[in-house]
Amino acid sequence: MKTPTCIAAALALVLPVTAAGASPTDASRRTPVVAAVERVSPAVVNISAERVQEQRMAPFGGLMRDPFFERFFEDFGLPEYRRQVKSTSLGSGFIVDGEGRVLTNAHVVAHASDIRVTLVDERSFPAELVASDPSSDLAVLKIKDGKGLPQVSMGASDDLMVGETVIAIGNPFGLSHTVTSGVISATRRSFKGNGQEFRDFIQTDASINPGNSGGPLVNIHGEVIGVNTAIVQAAEGIGFAIPVGRARRILSDLLTYGQVQLVWTGVDVQTVTPDLAPALGMTGRPGVVVTRIEPDGPGEKAGLRNGDVITRFASRPVVDEESFFAAVDSAPRGAPQALEGLRDKQPLALMVTPGAPPPDYADRILERSAGLRVKTDERGVVVKGVREGSAAAQSGIRAGDRLVGIGEVMVESLEAFRQALLDARGQGRVRLTLRRGNVTASFIFPLS
């Protein structure tokens, strides 16, 4: 029979010797992915946002939850009961500075009455909403007493390579600080989903599920290169992230102004088609051609002309209308940006300084594209006039109709109308929802 001493000696031959109290760890297992996760995880937070919503209740309980009875109560003025129902949304975010500010998705904290963030070490803090921009789906939170907390290192998204390794960290389905990895499948991806059109996204095969929204997409060096967004929930094996370059500019605007500042070049463009390319000297090269220049706008001041071709803007390649507007959106106001292209088949290089659009710029676009002029009154935004023979006139729209929505955005003021229309500018078309009496209808018009 073997003694305990003999058994210990035998085990010593096959097990690695470690210091007292230490766990055996093979150094080769500490891959760059492990190192990147260790670097970023302390600054990734789990966000719990509580909402209080009002729910209508029939006077006689669940048996009366029927459209006929609801209309009966409305018509005869009978009492209606309402109760407040609490719901909780879970999402992710990451700390971006030493003041405890957190970047996340706007939809994670929309209409939240109480927000809490939890770190990987299980410390929990209350947080408040600083500013939100639903059109970009980004929001900024401030952790109360959040000074001195760990923060992420922000990388760059202009030089991303298809095939490079990326890591997504978040809280999918409430599973705290879950890590997934994959590669970049595409950059500057534009697509349609959930009834909306999305532009300029990073596409990855790293799993991004509900709860990951707002978490960081990280490169192999542990730098944030994107903000994960679970926008196509039915997708399998496909995830999307907002590039950190765009997120950084929006973050700066939200902290400085409380809202995103629209960037304007005063230039309208059209994608160069294969039929048009030879005449412009564009054989084998994608780009856009300038079709309209607003008087006294940044483009005109820079010396651009109708017919000029643009192939790069703000250090980004321009291959079509969407990529041009995405490049414009990523540029800050007031900072000169390099523009490259062709004029009369010869190389063209200019510096364009984007600025703020004039207050009535959206009004001009709508009148030019659809033939509609709008105003505001006690009902909200209403049609002031319809140009004879225009697309709006052919659709049967008339003065007095109320404009209630642009795309997915409900419109209640002239400012909201202008913001929503300019947000839709790069999509090439817009869906307007109008109301006449009790009838509501939607119309799609191209934007020019």
Cα 20 off chain centre by: 50
| Ordered per-residue pLDDT tens for the chain, 448 residues | 555 555 454 444 444 444 444 455 677 888 999 999 999 999 999 999 886 655 555 555 554 445 444 444 444 554 555 555 565 778 999 999 999 999 999 989 988 889 999 999 999 999 999 999 887 889 999 999 888 899 999 999 888 999 999 999 998 777 778 999 999 999 988 776 555 567 789 999 988 877 888 999 999 999 999 999 876 655 566 889 999 988 998 999 999 988 888 889 999 898 998 888 888 888 777 899 999 999 999 999 999 999 999 999 998 889 888 889 888 988 888 999 999 999 999 999 999 999 988 888 889 889 988 999 999 988 899 999 999 999 999 999 999 999 999 887 888 888 888 888 877 765 667 889 999 998 999 999 887 6
Q: Which two structure tokens, joined as six digits, stand for 145? A: 């007493």
Question: Cα angle at 310 between 304 and 314, to 5 degrees?
Answer: 95
Structural domains for the chain:
42-143 (2.40.10.10), 153-257 (2.40.10.10), 267-352 (2.30.42.10), 361-446 (2.30.42.10)
**Pairing state of beta strands 402-406 and 429-436?**
antiparallel
CA atoms within 13 A on the CB side of 154: 16
CA atoms within 13 A on the CB side of 177: 15
Query: Whole-angstrom Cα distance, residue 146 to residue 96?
Result: 11
Catalytic residue among 213, 323, 369, 395: 213
Exposed / middle / buried, residue 346 (Cβ in 10 Å: 0-12, 13-18, 19+):
exposed
Catalytic residue among 41, 107, 177, 395: 107
Is 133 among the catalytic positions? no
Q: Under a CB-based contact definition with an 8 Å cutoff, are residues 206 and 186 in contact?
A: no
Is 137 among the catalytic positions? yes
Cα 271 off chain centre by: 24
What per-residue confidence (pLDDT) applies to 22? 45
- Closest by CA to 356, choosing from 260, 427, 252, 430, is 260
Angle between helices 414-423 and 361-370 (to 10 degrees): 70
Is 177 among the catalytic positions? no
Catalytic residue among 137, 268, 308, 401: 137
What per-residue confidence (pLDDT) applies to 262? 83
Question: Cα angle at 121 between 118 and 122, to 5 degrees?
Answer: 45
